[in-house]
Amino acid sequence: MERTIDVATGESVAFSYELAGLGSRFLAVFIDLTIQVLVLIGTLLIFAWIGSAFPQGKTTAASPQIQKIMDAIVMGVFIFALFMLFFGYFILFEWLGQGRTPGKRLLGIRVVRDGGFPVDLISSIIRNVVRILEAALGFYAVSAISALLSPQNRRLGDLAAGTIVVRDERYERAQALPFADRREDPVVRDVGPRERELIRQYAERRTALNTESRLSLAKKIARAVRPKLAASYDHLDDDSLLVFLAENALS
């Protein structure tokens, strides 16, 4: 079931997000798990092939104590590698991929923090450490129940980390503002701190907004900002103008 959430800023401007449904979220998890299993199988096959290249008949005269230590080390490395593959995978991809694992990217969804801010490392660690508990309790059965009961489709990890999963409608500006002169120094001294903060927040959250909400919000903010600019930017639409100001004038 798809739901939406509105987040109001201190300037009474609302950011609207379409929450990812339970089906798309679990399909994304299935895709990620398939990738992880394939990586695991491939790695085991490689190690098996490497092991077959060494003769087993002659072994070094190691004492039983040393052999036990070596076996413990190998087992420890193997357990750590499994942990990194099945849980570090989610942490690294969400942190470095702007809230998107390969599965989420394919399904067009992403993880964001409350308010639509990009997910950070700490939030990703928290939500995925809780994933261990969720996996142990009936393989995400508790997660499904939590997401169904939560008005924001949150599983336990989302509740602990303060995150939500939203639909990510990709919006790529053609040729990265082809008409904007990057050498131009826009004068924004008349733009007040409230407008500056709105521009920063918009640029930071815009990728998580659906197209209608993004264009409507950009129009509202740009209407307040354009009269205060010393240069004319009529060649830029509202969204492009705000991103241009955030990347050049307000950075």
Beta carbons of 157 and 191 less than 8 angstroms apart:
no
Q: Is residue 97's pLDDT more than 80?
A: yes
Percentage of the chain beyond pLDDT 90 is 17
Mean of the pLDDT values across residues 49-76? 69
Rounded CA gap, 180 and 183, in Å?
9
State residue 160's pLDDT score: 92
Q: How many CB atoms lie within 10 A of CB 197?
A: 14
Contacts of residues 84-92 at CB distance under 8 Å and 24 or more positions apart, as own/partner, are 85/36, 85/39, 85/40, 86/36, 87/128, 87/129, 87/131, 87/132, 89/32, 89/36, 90/32, 90/124, 90/128, 90/131, 91/121, 91/124, 91/125, 91/128
Mean of the pLDDT values across residues 124-135? 87
Average pLDDT, the chain: 78
Q: Is residue 191's pLDDT more than 60?
A: yes
Q: Is residue 6's pLDDT more than 80?
A: no
Q: What is the pLDDT of residues 161-188, one digit of tens each?
A: 999 998 875 423 333 333 344 444 445 5
Rounded CA gap, 179 and 190, in Å?
24
State residue 111's pLDDT score: 92
